[in-house]
Amino acid sequence: MKTRLLSPTDAHLDLCAEALERGELVAIPTETVYGLAANAFNEEACRNIFAVKGRPLGDPLILHLAENYSVTEIARETDLFNRLRKVFWPGPVTFVLEKSPRIAPLLTAGLSSVAIRCPAHPVTKGLLRRCPFPVAAPSANPFGYISPTTAQHVEASLGGKLPYILDGGSAEVGLESTILDVRDPHKIRILRYGSIDLTTLQKTAGDVTLELPRERPHEDPADNSPREAPGTLWRHYSPRKPLHLFATRKQLEEILPTPKKYSFLFHTRPSEDFFSGETNAQTTFHWLSENGDQEEMGRNLYACLRTLDASSSDEIWAETIPPGPLSKALNDRLVRAAAK
Ligand code: AMP
Ligand code: MG
């Protein structure tokens, strides 16, 4: 199949909306990462998402909605959800609610709940406005690989497997959405860390407990049965090359004498005197931000990992992120990406 990369003109948005309506797949830009989209009311189209990504059927999809889409069509609204959506939608937050019978079990891995999000990216807002149906869209990458934050990333790993990629530039956040289960009126279960600030979440939610994600889910990747917090496989977002994490730069000095080609990925640009120290001539140095801005780290993480994965180095060594606004989400992705 030939894959066309489309600029986000009105005519191309019409074309993509029609393709989705017919049951074809379209890769779409969002502020988090690029999504592989299908009409959520077309089960065959959604089945194709799993096939193209090589995604296990036990990993449910997130449904993307236009701002004015009536949520009651697909899920049972709660007061807590309505309070939070006013603040966080459109934006990088996914809510889990009880699903309506209208949603096929295939999309939710057989669960009675459904995950929904209203993205803020202007191109995808324009596309969703043209779609009288929700759009199911997981990240547009082969299952388990580094998530895509540009149209070119999607083309590089899924080109030939879908008809259209809508190019909306680089993702502004670059990290997957925060996922919040808001079915219980007294408790928000955070299923995945994302870019939203938990203090703002607590303030908006009021007198409600925040339950943090489990440190390390013990899950068997071969197990396709529904999970309590499904899809949160431990190894994820991973390059093909070995990826190791380090917390102190001293650890690098210990590995440097080994005759390997290393790529070192720092969270922040090291000072000049760092480079004047002893290094292995084959080593290359990279960083996620110039001066410690964690939003910049978020925007750059996946693109950097992809570049290093495609480079000639043998191993990637990435520095863990110090405490800050996005450190929980960034370290979550790094630890999973490095997991064996
Ligand atoms: P992504 O692959 O980034 O689109 O994220 C999809 C993730 O959303 C899944 O892997 C699950 O972790 C989560 N998810 C989707 N639907 C549900 C649901 N009904 N209940 C809990 N988590 C869900
Ligand atoms: Mg994904």
For residue 110, the CA-to-ligand 1 centroid distance in Å is: 12
In which band, very low, low, confident or very high, does the pLDDT at 235 lie, cut at 50, 70 and 90? confident
Alpha carbons within 13 A on the beta-carbon side of 340: 1
The neighbour count for residue 198, using CB atoms within 10 Å, is 15
Which residue's CA is the nearest one to ligand 1's atom 4? Answer: 138
Q: Is 109 in the pocket of ligand 1 (CB under 6 A)?
A: no
pLDDT score recorded for residue 147: 97
Ligand 1 nearest-atom number relative to CA 232? 12
Please identify which residue in the block is written with the tokens 């203090």: 199
Spell out the alpha helix ranges (H) of the chain: 10-22, 43-53, 79-88, 122-129, 151-158, 198-205, 250-255, 272-276, 294-310, 327-338
Full strand arrangement of the beta sheet holding 26-28: 4-6, 164-166, 26-28, 35-39, 135-136, 62-64, 113-117, 93-98, 178-181, 187-192, 209-211
pLDDT digits (tens, 9 = 90+) for 157-193: 999 999 999 999 999 999 999 999 999 999 999 999 9
pLDDT recorded at residue 243: 97
Share of the chain above pLDDT 70, in %: 92
For ligand 1, atom 17, name the residue with the nearest CA: 115
Strand partners, 99: 75
Averaged pLDDT of the chain: 93
How far is ligand 1, taken at its centre, from the CA of residue 51, in Å? 17
Q: Measured in angstroms, how far is the CA atom of residue 147 from the centroid of ligand 2?
A: 6
User: Can you tell me the distance from the alpha carbon of 161 to that of 227, in angstroms, rounded to the nearest whole number?
Assistant: 29
**Ligand 1 atom nearest 231 alpha carbon:** 10
The overall longest dimension of the chain from CA atoms, in Å, is 64
- What is the reported pLDDT for 225? 45
Mutational pocket test of ligand 1: of 33, 62, 81, 224, the residue with most ligand atoms within 8 Å of the beta carbon: 62
* Strand ranges in 217-314 using DSSP code E only, listed in sequence order: 243-246, 262-268, 284-289
Name the closest ligand to CA 176.
1
The sign of the dihedral angle between the CA atoms of 106, 108, 110, 113 is: negative
In angstroms, what is the span from residue 276 Cα to ligand 1's centroid? 46
pLDDT range class, residue 271, cuts 50, 70, 90:
confident
Encode pLDDT of 106-135 as tens digits.
999 999 999 999 999 999 999 999 999 999
- Ligand 2 midpoint to CA 53 (Å): 9
Complete domains list, the chain, with CATH: 4-211 (3.90.870.10), 243-338 (3.40.50.11030)
Q: Is 102 helix (H, G, I), strand (E, B) or coil?
A: coil
Inter-residue contact 64 to 119 (CB < 8 Å): yes
- Is this prediction's pTM over 0.85? yes
Atom of ligand 1 nearest to the CA of 115: 16
Q: What is the pLDDT of residues 68-109, one digit of tens each?
A: 999 999 999 999 999 999 999 999 999 999 999 999 999 999
Q: Is 138 in the pocket of ligand 1 (CB under 6 A)?
A: yes
Q: Would the pLDDT of 250 be above 90?
A: no
CB atoms within 10 A of CB 234: 14
- Please state which of the ranges 184-193, 227-236, 292-301 shows the lowest mean pLDDT: 227-236
The span from the CA of 70 to the CA of 91, in Å, is 17
Name which of 34-48, 260-274, 323-337 the model is least confident about. 260-274
| Residues in the chain, total | 340
Between 216 and 223, the higher pLDDT residue: 216
> What mean pLDDT comes out for the span 224-248?
77
**pLDDT band of 220, cuts 50, 70, 90:** low
Residue nearest to atom 12 of ligand 1 (CA): 231
- H/E stretch holding 164: strand 164-166
Q: What is the pLDDT of residue 226?
A: 45
pLDDT of residue 255: 84
The most confident of the ranges 30-44, 230-244, 258-272 is 30-44
The stretch 268-279 carries a mean pLDDT of: 77
CB of residue 231 inside a 6 A radius of ligand 1: yes
